Chain A
Amino acid sequence: MPYAVETRDLTRVFAGKKKHWWRKPKPNEEESRGPVTALDGVSLQIHEGELFGLLGPNGAGKTTLIKILATLLLPTSGMAFVAGNDVTKDPFPIRQRINMVSGGETSGYGLLTTRENIWMFSQFYGVPSKVSKARIDELMHAFGLWDKRDAKVRLISSGQRQKMNMIRGFVTEPDILFLDEPTLGLDVNAARTIREYVMNWVRGQSGKTVLLTTHYMAEADEMCDRIAIIDKGKILACDTPENLKRMIHTQTTFRLEVDPLQDTSTFQRMDGVVNFSLRDDASKNRTELTFILENEAPVAEILSAITAQGAKVHALRKTEPTLEDVFISMVGRGFE
């Protein structure tokens, strides 16, 4: 039985800007002009019925991968199959079985009502009008959009538009659903509603597959059966959330909140430091450091190095490993 999604050594390079003889390049333009490798030899297998997460920072290649799988973009090399069909050669049968929703955008025809927008898309998929209308009503109740069913799209909030787009994704009952950062920019309740609906949708019926991209660790951890961690177009690891965290279970994670530091290069040279990341909190004028350590021995040396710079340690705590810690352990920086 074919995988719901399979990629083999998938690579996507975006060509840089072309040079024109009539225009002088601006300062620093030469460096930003070159080609960008968005995906670099990605090989993945997603099983039917799986809720699969693609976790990575902004610019990691998540959206590029989804666009290729959704037949919006061609790969530069390698192969990708969705429901057993080649995305390059055979997009039409793929389109009959997929749908896609991108978060954080405000797409929609403003002159139509929310219901009309969703209904129209369902018609492109051949859903009988009666069935479509019944499904729309049900989904509008589920996503809390019922009271906006007859509101013109131009008059609803961006969060409500996002909910409308989620409904558009589910109304066609796809076998494979691509969700690209579906909770981006939503309030806590709306995000929870969407997460719960997606989990129930996949697990409550057989044959439904979801590929979810996110940069929210907790979201990936809570929702996904398996997660691939992606950075700079490469898959760094792929496993269940538990197994990923177990990869660093022999290591220890410490988080420190300190005054801003002048020099952090000394940490990397210390024995026992696997990796570390720092995040500045401008509102508090503090820096949050996360250390992945082989054991607790280097803690005293770290504290000495901090105080030697005249900085104060405001908090120090040992934490359970998270998916972000796995990421830090692999690449030496956090998601921001």
Chain B
Amino acid sequence: MSTYWRTFKTAAWLGWQMDSNWTEPWLFVIYSIVKPVAGAFILIFMYVVIWSINGIPDPHSFAFLYIGNAFFIFVGSTLLGTFQVIQSDREWYQTIRYVYISPISYYVYILGRAFSKIVVSVFAVLITLAFGVFLLGSYGVQMQLSLDRLPLFFVSLALGLFVLLAIGITLGAATFLMARHSQTLAEAVPGVFYVFCGVLFPLTILPSWGQAIGEAIPLTYWFEITRRILLPFQLNTGLAGFDDLEILAFLLVSTVIFFGLSIGVFKLGEYLARRAGKIDMTTSY
């Protein structure tokens, strides 16, 4: 068994134990259902408030933001899953020195730990989508996923998750050198993506500089193609000039670039931390 696979498998097992083993299985299942449903209720509330202010319902916009928010669950949890590994192993469990000096790739270890977060997120996204389709149809949440579009959906989903992991590890490398600010980073970066990647509203609502930022972030293309596949209608998002394969190509190229970048930045962060003696620092922040 290759070192990489063994590392990934063991780290994923550890991550899963930490994500799921904190309570009784039945309570974990209830929590896993209630949490995304509660998130959906926040969206309904936001939509109803906007509806009452405008006086007219806008079911297409609601469906747009609902799908965006459902898939944004992957963003929050995957980024947190990668960011937190170094911080938690170093400060909370104080195991980082023993993991780090074992004959593994620490990069792959982080991927494995984050994988369990993705698994938990899949469950949350499915529940959110099912809740929307079966209970919020009257608000405009509709989905269509034809069999011939399934491969495109899974390819784009895989690329989206890969790019999220790459971004997470790139930023996680910075946490090698940080103490208290890593939590701030973990909250701020998903916030930037939430605003600029067309999660809540189309890019066209943003000023031109905001649209330029959004177009430079690969997640924008992931949200775009996901909506194109799942929604039976399209809003003007500013990317209408590109067909599905072009959007997918953007996503693929940016995924490859971000993965290369993540390896380089991770190696640099690791080297600088080892040089500064910060790999296993504990600060009690």
Contacts and interface: CB of A to CB of B under 8 A. Distances in A.
A86 to B, nearest CB: 14
A126 B277 contact: no
A107 B101 contact: no
A281 B22 CA distance: 47
A126 B98 contact: no
Contacts of B126: none
B98 A71 contact: no
A14 B278 CA distance: 11
A99 B104 CA distance: 13
Contact of A105 (B7, B10, B94, B100): B94
B98 A168 contact: yes
Interface string B249-285: 0000000000000000000000000111101100000
Contact of B279 (A15, A72, A106): A72
Given A15-B276, A109-B95, A124-B102, 14 more contacts: A14-B277, A67-B277, A70-B97, A71-B274, A72-B101, A72-B280, A73-B279, A95-B103, A109-B17, A111-B17, A111-B21, A123-B6, A124-B7, A124-B10
Contact of B6 (A73, A126, A168): A126
Contacts of B145: none
B101 A98 contact: yes
Interface in A37-73: 67, 70-73
Main SS at interface, chain A: loop
Nearest to B97: A72
A274 interface: no
B204 interface: no
A116 B94 contact: no
A121 B11 CA distance: 10
Contacts of B274: 71-74
Given A111-B22, A116-B17, A124-B10, A71 B93 contact: no
B103 A107 contact: no
B25 to A, nearest CB: 14
Interface string A11-26: 0001100000000000
A177 to B, nearest CB: 12
B101 A71 contact: yes
Contacts of B139: none
A109 B14 contact: yes
Interface string A102-130: 10011111111000100011011110000
Interface in A224-262: none
Interface string B87-126: 0000001110111111110000000000000000000000
A150 to B, nearest CB: 14
B101 A109 contact: no
A92 B94 CA distance: 22
Interface of B: 1, 3, 6-7, 9-10, 13-14, 17-18, 21-22, 93-95, 97-104, 274-277, 279-280
20 contacts: A15-B276, A67-B277, A67-B280, A72-B97, A72-B101, A72-B274, A96-B103, A105-B94, A107-B93, A107-B94, A108-B93, A108-B94, A110-B93, A111-B18, A111-B21, A112-B14, A116-B17, A120-B13, A126-B103, A168-B98
B102 A121 contact: yes
Contacts of B280: 67, 72
Given A14-B277, A92-B103, A109 B93 contact: yes
Contacts of A111: 17-18, 21-22
A116 B102 CA distance: 17
A139 interface: no
Of residues B97, B101, B274, which shows the largest number of chain A Cβ atoms within 10 Å of its Cβ? B101
A125 to B, nearest CB: 6
Contacts of A80: none
A210 interface: no
Contact of A126 (B3, B22, B94, B97): B3
Contacts of B98: 100, 107, 121, 168
Contacts of B17: 109, 111-112, 116
Contacts of A100: 97-98, 101
B40 to A, nearest CB: 29
B16 to A, nearest CB: 11
A109 B19 CA distance: 12
Contacts of A121: 98-99, 102
- Of A96, A98, A109, A124, the most chain B CB neighbours within 10 A belong to A124
Contact of A125 (B13, B18, B102): B102
Given A74-B274, A124-B102, A124-B104, A108 B95 contact: yes
